[in-house]
Every structure is written in structure tokens, then in C-alpha cells.
Structure 1
Amino acid sequence: MGNSLKAKMTVDKQFVLAEVDPRLYSSFIEHLGRAVYGGIYEREHPLADEYGFRQDVAALIREIGVPMIRYPGGNFVSGYNWEDGVGPVASRPQRLELAWRTLESNEVGTNEFIRWARELQSDVMMAVNLGTRGVDAARNLLEYCNHPSGSYYSDLRISHGYAQPHGIKTWCLGRQRLHSWRTRILLKMH
């Protein structure tokens, strides 16, 4: 029958090679289907909080204990203009979302997501659009989220009701195509 390969595995919970980084159990949320609208956010739902986020869904996520959540997702971020998702919701533009062929209302954006994730005690990994945008838009989002005050984008955040910087520490460059590249860089850093 030829040579056959055999494998053997020994599992011993007392034998530990290393700690498992809790970020391994992270997740992401994307403006796709019912993930955001009708999933985590549904203003008219009887269990929605004052901001429109469903507390039944939040309770389940808290129970799981998701350490970090990437936003705004995968394919969606490749065509997303982050500026559309900040400021007064009534003034936000509705855009044709080409990845999923839907109309994006931009009711949920950067500040709403960050507030929601922090309520869940999850860290935020903010994704930047490197599909249709570039480094300049990414730099502006970083300034909006993290710079204290005195610059255009930090003062814009303040005018939107967020006096304190969000302090985002983990950033995703683009979407899945860059993940293996990013992982290799992170591994070389440790």
C-alpha cells in the first residue's frame, strides 16, 4: 500500500509552552446584512438603549468576553469614507455601498462604534480604507481619533461631542489582504 504517514499528539494541560494572547479571540463587525443594522444596532427594538444599540446582543457579547473588535469590517472598509460616519447623524450622507450593493445610511459610525465597544469592555481595532483611499485619509482618521486638541480633525471630534481622544492603539491597514503582511511585521517586532 505504500508509505502512510502517521501523526501522534499528546495533550497535557499541565504542560504549557506559552500564554495564549487573548486578542486571538477577537472579532469584527461589518456593515453587511444584519450585522450592524438589525444586529447590534436597531433603534426601534424594545431592548435598544438610548443610542439604538440592542442590549440583548450586548449582553451576549459581554458573556463571550470579546477582547477586541475590528471596525468597520472587511470588504466594507475598502470603499468606506470615514468622514461620512462622524458628526450629527441627521447630516450624514447616504451612500451606495458597492461591496454589498446596499444603501449605507451611516447612522452607525466611528464614535458610535467606539462608545458601544467600550461599553462592552472590548478594545477597538480601527480599520483604515486602503482600497479606494490612502495614507492621507488614514492619517486624518488617526488625528480625529487620537489627537487631544488644537488640530483640524481633533477639534472636529470635539465639536461632535467627544472632548477626550479615543486613544485607539490598534490599527488595521486595509482588510484581509494585508493581514498576513501585518502579522509578519508584528511577529518580527516581538
Structure 2
Amino acid sequence: MIWIFPALAGLLVVYFAMRSSRFRRFAEPTLSILVALLLLSAFLVWSRENGSSSNASDPPPFAQNRPVIQPEEIVLKDLQFTRKRPDTSYRTTGTILNNSAADLTNFSLTVTLEDCPDGKCKTVGEDTALILARLQPGQSQAFETFFTFPNPYGVDPVAPKWSHRVTDIRGRLP
């Protein structure tokens, strides 16, 4: 409801500026300076609020100095890659085993596909999937995800070679 007063004042300024050239010569520079001061004060308030909400020593959200779970503590077994439609998509299944002392929440699985005919490997592509796995220490769970790789010129890999790595592990101590 308070917005009515500035709106009414703005309409009066526009009305008087249209009716009187003397008022216009006085109102234009005055209003320009007033708007500049309002913008400057709004910027100062915004920067002061933004600066006080975060401390320079605070770590970014979800950052851990030393991860609770190390990549070697996550074991992936029975990984299978099955070609799906479209031809560049692969369904991946397997089992996750949590060998750490912490509860596992999620991790990123990066898979690299190489084509290795005659022992000469050429990288086809790399893709990363977020795997949600709520596992307590010592538990295992089946998972399924999809990876997409480029298919240049419609040529399928003759001798596919798969490699994977676990990154960005999130967990918490029980």
C-alpha cells in the first residue's frame, strides 16, 4: 500500500513537467541526482548484506576438507554395458559395495569408452552419471544408469574397452 505515495508523486512530477518548462529545467537534474543516490544506496545495502551473510573462512556448501569416503573404499562389481536405442546410449548395471566406515549417500561414476581394434585404442567418449546409493558400511546394492557416447559417422566400436573411475563421493559418519 505504501507504493501509492511514490506512484502519486511520480505522476505529479510528470504532470508538472509537461505543463511547465521552468519546472522541467529544475525537475530533470534534481530527479536524476535523486535516482542516482537511490541506486547507490541500494547497491550499498545489497553489498553489505551479501558480505555479512558469508564468512571468508566458511567452506563452500558440501565441501569436505578430507572426504569421509575414499574412492578405493567403493567397490563396483559385475559392471555390464548393454547398447540401447538410440545407438549412442548404453545401459549400465552393476553392484556397489561400501567398504568404508561411513554411510554412503552418492557418488559420480565416470566411464570412458575406447575402441581397440588390433590393439590400437582410440577414445570414443567419456560420460559421467550421478549414482544415488544410500548404503551403510559393509552393505551392497544393485544399480542401473545410462551413459551416452558420440557415434561419429555412424561407426560402431569394433572392440570396445571400458574403464571407469569413482569421483565426488558424498558420505557422512554414522
Q: Which is greater in Rg? A: 2
Query: Is the structural similarity TM-score above 0.5?
Result: no
Q: Shorter-chain TM-score: which interval?
A: under 0.3
TM-score by length of structure 2 reads 0.21
Structure with greater contact order relative to length (CA < 8 Å, sep ≥ 6): 2
Higher strand residue share:
2
